[in-house]
Amino acid sequence: MRITMIGTGYVGLVSGACFSDFGHEVVCVDKDATKIEALHRGVMPIYEPGLAELVGANVRAGRLSFTTDLAAGVKDADAVFIAVGTPSRRGDGHADLTYVFAAVREVAEALTRPAVIVTKSTVPVGTGDEVERILAEVAPDVGATVASNPEFLREGAAIADFKRPDRVVIGAEDERAREVLREIYRPLSLNQSAPLVFTGRRTAELIKYAANAFLAVKITFINEIADLCEAVGGDVQEVARGIGLDNRIGRKFLNAGPGYGGSCFPKDTLALLQTAGDNEVPLRIVEATVQVNDARKRAMGRKVIKAMGGEARGKTVGVLGLTFKPDTDDMRDAPSLALIQALQDAGATVKAYDPEGFEQARPMLTDVEFAASPYAAAEGADALVIVTEWDAFRALDLSRIAKSMNDPVLVDLRNVYPPEEAARAGLKLTGIGRA
């Protein structure tokens, strides 16, 4: 199949690289000439384990190419995937579809054959209908059709998620679109049994939002249970295991922490609430989740201050991990941002270390000292906070850290260290969801 991918962000680049690795001929198009030029040199615009190697191998094999020339990229395509950004619209939380519609218009102008236009970006219910309307207006005679194929990959595990998905959701209204997408994903069913789930287009659009909202609810649920554990003397990790072994609940996404962040859950829950509001169908559980998660990020600052004895003024806090999760350089809606703000507002000085996030974090964080190592972040500090569970923080020399600190207070917001280990090293530990 000849596939054109519009947009080389996280989803576009990973999907394009993986489709080419399946053996398809893929052209990735982006307006950003510096990005395309960097990709030509093998430089990735994002940090994602294994991506540079996968891109390199498929470019060398002649199956993957990059261009800024949309018309040339679209001309011979069997399928054109739209994978441009859908950020939250300032003010109302609606998904901003400006980029999607602009891309579709350009694609429509360039179409010469009846390709399937597939939205891979997360787009609100009904967007496919609008895409269809644009096609009918701009390219009424080429016979292109529209499908929805939402992407469920996680940053940091994107390639594995793409190649070994739990399912592939395809929303289409016509047989040809279904056939083209079945063919595109055929290599998956050869290796394993990832079900292709065929639905109507609107249903597929909704599945993506429902999945993200459900996961956000699950995380927020265990976070609240963590608070209760702290109050009554329970252990949230044991509670999570105890409930998660029930297959109906499942063990995944029950790690209590500082609240979810990232480019999807915060944005998609807000956009879903907008759709719900527009249709006068209240989604009260999702509403509560958004509020509880926002409040939680701020509450983490108070937790650290409490661990330092209730006073932050004049104190120094070391922060380990800035990105919203490990194995990414993404800082969007990272809990570290709210935490650091709360500490600074209370008069503390912050020193931070992150294995990959500095470049994105620097413009977002003022008056933060960036340390060269976890040990440098801890040195002389009155508290050390683990915000993101990078592997590099899992086997730290805790005794060395305790000795180098002004006050050996460890606030472990990801429960990386067992209490006994921290105590042996001489650290005063505060975790999540244990008394």
Cβ–Cβ under 8 Å, residues 97 and 22 = no
Question: Which one of 30, 48, 155, 382 is in contact with ligand UDX (CB under 6 A)?
Answer: 155
Give residue for tokens 């030029």.
37
Query: Should residue 145 be labelled a site residue for ligand UDX when binding is judged by CB under 6 A?
Result: no
Which is nearer to ligand UDX, 139 or 170 (by Cβ)? 170
Catalogue the active-site residues: 264
Query: Does residue 235 contact residue 434 with C-beta atoms inside 8 Å?
Result: yes
Site string for ligand UDX, 251-270 (x = CB under 6 A): --xxx-x--xxx-xx-----
Q: In this complex, which beta carbon is closest to ligand UDX, that of residue 63 or of residue 325?
A: 325
CB of 330 to ligand UDX, least distance (A): 8
Closest contact distance (angstroms) between CB of 152 and ligand UDX is 4
- Give the one residue of 104, 153, 169, 317 binding ligand UDX; rule: CB under 6 A: 153
Q: Which residues contact 117 (CB under 8 A, 6 or more apart)?
A: 79, 80, 82, 104, 107, 131, 135, 144, 145, 146, 147
HSE (CB half, 13 Å, CA atoms) of 379? 9
Tell which positions 187-216 bind ligand UDX, by CB under 6 A: 212, 215
| # binding residues, ligand UDX (CB under 6 A) | 19
The H-or-E segment that residue 157 falls in is: none
For ligand UDX, give the closer residue by CB, 133 or 164: 164
Return the residue of 31, 105, 154, 202 that touches ligand UDX, per CB under 6 A: 154
Binding residue (CB under 6 A) for ligand UDX from 19, 47, 152, 393: 152
Residue nearest to ligand UDX (CB): 264
CA angle 325, 329, 334 (to 5 degrees): 45
* Contact predicate 55/21, CB 8 Å: no
324 near ligand UDX, judged by CB under 6 A: yes
User: Residue 222 CB, nearest distance to ligand UDX (Å)?
Assistant: 7
Any idea which residue has 């994903």 for tokens?
Answer: 185
Nearer to ligand UDX, 207 or 215 (CB): 215
> Which residues are CB-contacts of 296 (< 8 A; sequence separation ≥ 6)?
220, 223, 258, 259
Q: Decide if residue 219 touches ligand UDX (CB under 6 A).
A: yes
Taking a C-beta distance cutoff of 8 angstroms, is the pair 9, 87 a contact? Answer: no
Q: How far is the CB of 261 from ligand UDX (least distance, A)?
A: 4
Phi, psi of 190 (to 5 degrees): -75, -35
What's the token pair of residue 145? Answer: 């059709």
- 20 vs 255, beta carbon nearer ligand UDX: 255
d(CA 64, CA 74) in angstroms, rounded, equals: 14
Q: What whole-number distance in Å separates Cα of residue 304 and Cα of residue 382?
A: 10
Binding residues for ligand UDX, rule: CB under 6 A, are 151-155, 212, 215, 219, 253-255, 257, 260-262, 264-265, 324-325
